[in-house]
Amino acid sequence: MTDEPKLESDAGNSEGIGVREPIFPPWTDHLVKLLGLGGAFSGAYVAILAIFGLSPYMIAIGYMPKQVVSYDHSLHAGELGIDCRYCHTTVEYAAFAAIPPTQTCMNCHDKIFKTSPKLAPVRESYASGEAVEWTKVHDLPGYVYFNHSAHVTRGVSCVSCHGRVDRMEEVFQQEPLSMGWCLDCHRAPAKNLRPVRISEVDALVAQGLLEAPPPSKSGIPANRRLLDDARVTNLGWGQDLSKSDREKIGQVLLAERGLVDGGGNPTVRFDTLTSCSTCHR
Ligand code: HEC
Ligand code: HEC
Ligand code: HEC
Ligand code: HEC
Ligand code: HEC
């Protein structure tokens, strides 16, 4: 057989050592071509998926757009301990979590780090009155209805949906924000719930699920301090509790709030959480 395909490297070696037999039989050549084609196809397939967003789920997790100011949450919310609500002022009473205006930054930065080059865009914005152009990180499609206050006022912490933002230098999307993800929690929210009322704290203490701290010099009652500690903006809360205790705490809260009845069965309000019109109105 003279028309047998030769490997590239054979050409140079053919003089001294003689022609090597191809390692693979000729028919594999076609297979290689086919595989190459297959490769090209799967590449195109991935691109098409990306373009048409058939898999927003895969693409969005970890999304971390570059911001014009390298604002650091792990510094401000973490180390300095500034409460999320100091900047995201509307989370408790509106659907939308406001991004702070430049004035909020200037409350501190007209006194400290006044000349920092990193803050130049903030100073320009302050002088011109034009908002800093922050790039949105989390973004649901327009046909989905989401509401921050509905979650935050029922003791679902920012951490359940955004992760440990207080440890992120730059915010990125931690959760898929897909319909399945919303529904997973709506079907079984217990482990994500925290007390939001004194009466709820008292119920949890009475059942031995929360431990009343010793009296403090401030004179603030133990249950008040427990409630403050469990605030939704304290992202690290509950880490010392076991999974099963978190679940039990949630079950007590679901009963307190009328989402389950005396027999532990879901009420109409619970069922509404998974009905289409709750999120698509
Ligand atoms: C000193 C002000 C400040 C504080 C305090 C603060 N943030 Fe922010 N946050 C910002 C600014 C400015 C942005 C927009 C720039 C960015 O995305 O980093 C932002 C963006 C975000 C985003 C992304 C929004 C989007 O575009 O999808 C989330 C989520 C967020 N913050 C959560 C939190 C949480 C949770 C806390 C408390 C642990 C917190 N922030 C505390 C100023 C603040
Ligand atoms: C409550 C006060 C306070 C507020 C409000 C505040 N910051 Fe800061 N910021 C600080 C402090 C303190 C530091 C310095 C921390 C350190 O490095 O010791 C700092 C540091 C910074 C730096 C780093 C500066 C450098 O040169 O290293 C940037 C950038 C910054 N802040 C941006 C912002 C932006 C944007 C906002 C508004 C969304 C904001 N800060 C709101 C207190 C504040
Ligand atoms: C139940 C899940 C959930 C909880 C709890 C939650 N968020 Fe969000 N957050 C979202 C989703 C989903 C979006 C995207 C909303 C959209 O695109 O319409 C978002 C968007 C944001 C944004 C961008 C502005 C906006 O409203 O689109 C900020 C800032 C933010 N969240 C901060 C917070 C803070 C601070 C907390 C806690 C006090 C918090 N979030 C609690 C799910 C949540
Ligand atoms: C970590 C848990 C969790 C996640 C994730 C979550 N939710 Fe919720 N959601 C809740 C809880 C808890 C309530 C309030 C239940 C109650 O007490 O009535 C709620 C309530 C709501 C309500 C208000 C219902 C009403 O009629 O009062 C809407 C709307 C909603 N969620 C939409 C969404 C959407 C959209 C997503 C996904 C983008 C989402 N939620 C993700 C836990 C969650
Ligand atoms: C708890 C909130 C929630 C409930 C309840 C809910 N959806 Fe969705 N739905 C979403 C979210 C969030 C998205 C956007 C998903 C994405 O961007 O990946 C979505 C997307 C969709 C889409 C767009 C196609 C897709 O998968 O991207 C359709 C169709 C849809 N929902 C139908 C329904 C129907 C029918 C029901 C009732 C059986 C329902 N949804 C109940 C939150 C919800």
Atom nearest to 152 CA in ligand 3: 5
In this predicted structure, what is the pLDDT of residue 68? 87
Q: Which residues line ligand 1 (CB under 6 A)?
A: 67, 71, 73, 76-77, 82, 84, 86-88, 99-100, 134, 136-138, 158, 162, 165-166, 171, 233, 235
Q: How far is the CA of 184 from the centre of ligand 5 (A)?
A: 12
Query: Taking CA 254 as the corner, what is the angle to CA 250 and CA 256, rounded to the nearest 5 degrees?
Result: 115
* Nearest protein Cα to ligand 2, atom 35: 71
In this predicted structure, what is the pLDDT of residue 66? 86
Q: 128-176, pLDDT tens digit by residue?
A: 999 999 999 999 999 999 999 999 999 999 999 999 999 999 999 999 9
Q: How far is the CA of 108 from the centre of ligand 2 (A)?
A: 7
Q: 194-216, pLDDT tens digit by residue?
A: 999 999 999 999 999 999 888 88
Residues 209, 204: Cα–Cα separation, whole Å: 5
Mean pLDDT score of the chain, rounded to an integer? Answer: 85
Q: 116-126, pLDDT tens digit by residue?
A: 999 999 999 99
The domain spans of the chain are: 20-54
* Nearest protein Cα to ligand 5, atom 39: 276
* Nearest protein Cα to ligand 1, atom 34: 84
In this predicted structure, what is the pLDDT of residue 60? 79
Higher-confidence residue of 27 and 252: namely 252
Closest by CA position to 210, among listed 219, 261, 220, 199: 199
Residues 258, 239: Cα–Cα separation, whole Å: 26
Which ligand does the CA of 146 lie closest to? 4
Q: 1-36, pLDDT tens digit by residue?
A: 444 444 343 333 334 344 444 444 454 445 444 444
Share of the chain above pLDDT 70, in %: 79
Closest by CA position to 76, among listed 160, 169, 174, 161: 169
